[in-house]
Copies of this chain bind each other. A is one copy, B any other.
Amino acid sequence: MAKFKFKVLKKDGYARKGLIETKRGNIKTPAFMPIATQGAVKFTPIELIEQIGYELTLSNTYHLLLRPGLERLSKVDGVSEFMGWNKPVLTDSGGFQIMSLSKLRKISEEGVKFQSHIDGTSHFLTPENVIDHQNIIKSDIQMVLDECIQYPESYENVKKSMELSLRWAERSRIHYTKNKSKIYGAQFGIIQGGVFEDLREISVSEIVNLDFEGYAIGGLAVGEGHEKMIEVVNYTAPQLPEDKVRYLMGVGKPNDIIEAVYRGVDIFDCVIPTREGRHGIAYIGSSSINIKNSKFESDLTPLDEGSDYFVSKKYSKSYLNHLLKIKDPLGPMLISLHNLNYYFNLMTDLGMSIEEGRLDTFREDFYKDN
């Protein structure tokens, strides 16, 4: 395994400021990962992602397996080089996408059989082969294969699913450990158990026993809402080892992130800033505006006067409204970039607040502005 280290540099309550060191570069935490599912942050040159200051992106094994395929990725230094990023990449194993995208899937003890949503070809993912795939993709951080269950779901079904994910996690760790000398990236386990505290507790204790390089809280941001999500984070995060990275998958809105950082989570990924940005929603201060709204047609003020980011301070709401109306992808790109810069600043502010022991005040101020 290539270099992978994590240090907590400072704590403020449960919240942590830290540093992940990898062969491809360091990542200051708390950190948000822009989504580059298929090896591209949608609509956006990667140079502009780097310029904002991002140090880690997320790609998806399921998508990359289908396109461009492992053969091509094996010929380059993985997806990070392929996309001209050359910085650390985390890859999801594809479990969630199999549930949400593939035409047909069949889950067995062995793994998941599914048909591509693009061309109908059959694929079979196992806890073992997703490790090999992510090794070809050369992820700096690999996620294990797990079963993603819908919300809401009965206690019994969540329990069964969590237990299957546990058995898969064990197989994952065995396969990874056996091949560690050949494997590029670190491996993160995933805590499941839905919104049931006792199931989460079992999952934490079993997964942590497997001694992964880091731990994710999975199975959230699937419709349970902010309150329930934070409740789960509240009792799950503190049980995870202090010296390992904690990752809350698929989260979230700014207030979700603030509350999770407050409870000790280190890294995040979410489609919100880019997907909502592409639909015209821009985050400003403690809320958001929809640039498509006709009242912005004649609003010649900059997207965000308070920002020093070139997109936010230069382009008027009126111009961005025009770009959305003429359906030029430049509009979605610029608003995405604005949001990604907003999220980056949020993470930086959270880190500084922890550094200076004033996270409580930061939270209060954020909600006061709302």
Q: Contact check: which of B67, B297, B328 meets A325 at CB < 8 Å?
A: B67
Q: Counting CB contacts under 8 A, is A252 at the interface?
A: no
Per DSSP, chain A at the interface is loop
> How many copies of this chain does one complex carry?
2
Q: Counting CB contacts under 8 A, is A39 at the interface?
A: yes
Contact stretch, chosen from A109-117, A150-158, A164-172, A316-324: A316-324
Minimum CB–CB distance for A309 against chain B, Å: 12
Residues of chain B contacted by A48 (CB below 8 angstroms): 45
Residues of chain B contacted by A310 (CB below 8 angstroms): 47
Number of A residues with CB within 8 Å of any CB on chain B: 37
| Residue from A41, A76, A330, A334 with most neighbouring chain B CB atoms (10 Å) | A330
Q: How far is the CA of A82 from the CA of B39 in the complex (A)?
A: 33
Q: Is the CB of A330 within 8 A of B82?
A: no
Q: Which residues of A contact B (CB under 8 A)?
A: 38-45, 47-48, 67-68, 71-72, 75-76, 82-84, 297-298, 300, 310, 314-316, 318-319, 322-323, 325-326, 328-330, 333-334
Taking A68-B297, A72-B318 as given, write out 18 further A-B residue pairs in contact, using a Cβ cutoff of 8 Å, ordered by the A residue number: A38-B328, A40-B323, A40-B326, A40-B330, A41-B330, A42-B330, A43-B329, A43-B330, A43-B333, A45-B48, A68-B325, A72-B298, A76-B300, A76-B318, A82-B318, A82-B319, A84-B315, A84-B319
